[in-house]
Structure 1
C-alpha cells in the first residue's frame, strides 16, 4: 500500500497547481468536466466504460481513504484512476521514454468546497508539449478523441 500511496503522490504532481487554485493555464493543460455523480460513482462509471473498451485498469487510488488511514484529515473526497492502452502508449514511449512519467493515463475525480464533483485528466496535447514530441501525431489525436468520448460516456445519464 505504501508503494501505491507514493505512486499516487508522484502521479499527482502535475495537478498540484490546479488543486491549489493556480491559474497556470489549467484550461490548456487539463480537461475538467463536471459530474452529477458522487466521486466514487464517477470513478466507478469511468472504470466500467474503460473496461468495456478493453482498456487496462492499473490502479484505483482513494486519496481520502489513504489520508484517513495515515491519520490525516483531507477535506476533499478524491479518487484517481490509472489506466492505459499499450497500443497507443507504446509508440509514444518508443519516441520519448520520458513520457512514461505521465503514462499510463490518469483521471481524478474530486468534490470541491461547494459540493460539486469534477473529473479531470491531462490533455494529450499537453503531454506532447511537455515531452517535446514531434512524431506520432495520430496517436495523440486518437488519445484525445478517445478520452473525450469515454469520459463523456461515463458522465452521461
Structure 2
C-alpha cells in the first residue's frame, strides 16, 4: 500500500509538470535556448541549436507545422521507411471542444530493421515504431522532437551498435527541417 501511494505521488508530480508545460506552451525550450550553444546558433540565422534533454532531441524547424510534417514524411519515404500514421493531437482536442497548439506525431519505421532489435530486447517495442513529434509553441515557433538512439539503448540495456540504424534519424530530421 505504501508503494502505491508513493507511485501515485510521483504520477501526480509528473501530471502537474505535464499540465504546466501545456499551460506555458511547452516553454521547456527556454532552458535549452539559454545554453551557450543554443545562443550562438540563435545569432546565426535565429534557429535554436538542437537540444538534447533526457534522451529527447528537439530542434527548431524553419517551416510551418504542416510543411515540417510534409518534409519529414517525404524524407522518411525517400529513405525507404514506412509512415504508418500521423496523429494530430490538436485536431483530436478540437473534436472535444479543447484547445492546444499544433502537435502531431509521425509514426514510422521499417519492420525489417526494427524486428531484430525487438527480438534482442522485447521492451523496445514500447518505443518502436519510431516517432517524431512536430509541435508549435505559444510564440508560433515550430519544433521537432524525437527520442535519441543512445537514450533508447540505455533504457533497454542494448549496445549502441544495435540501435545504430536509428541514430541516422538524428541527422536526417534536422537536415530536413533546415538545421
Which of the five TM-score ranges fits, normalised by the shorter chain?
Answer: 0.7 to 0.9
- Structure 1 stretches lacking a partner, 5+ long: 1-12
TM-score, with structure 1 as normaliser: 0.77
Name 1:38's counterpart in structure 2.
Answer: 64
Instruction: Determine which structure has greater relative contact order: mean sequence separation of CA pairs < 8 Å that are 6+ residues apart, divided by chain length.
Output: 1
Measured in 2, the distance between the counterparts of 1:68 and 1:100 equals 30
Measured in 2, the distance between the counterparts of 1:139 and 1:54 equals 19
RMSD, aligned CA: 2.5
- Structure 2 stretches lacking a partner, 5+ long: 1-13, 22-27, 32-50
Name 2:173's counterpart in structure 1.
Answer: 151
Matched pairs, number: 137
Secondary structure at the counterpart of residue 138 of structure 1: coil
Say which of 114, 139, 142 aligns to 1:114.
139
TM-score, with structure 2 as normaliser: 0.68
Secondary structure at the counterpart of residue 175 of structure 2: helix
Say which of 92, 109, 112 aligns to 1:87.
112
Measured in 1, the distance between the counterparts of 2:165 and 2:126 equals 20
Asked whether the 8 Å contact 2:148–2:170 carries over to 1, the reply is: no
Bigger share in helix: 1
- Following TM superposition, the consecutive aligned residue runs of length 4 or more in structure 1 with deviations greater than 4 angstroms are none
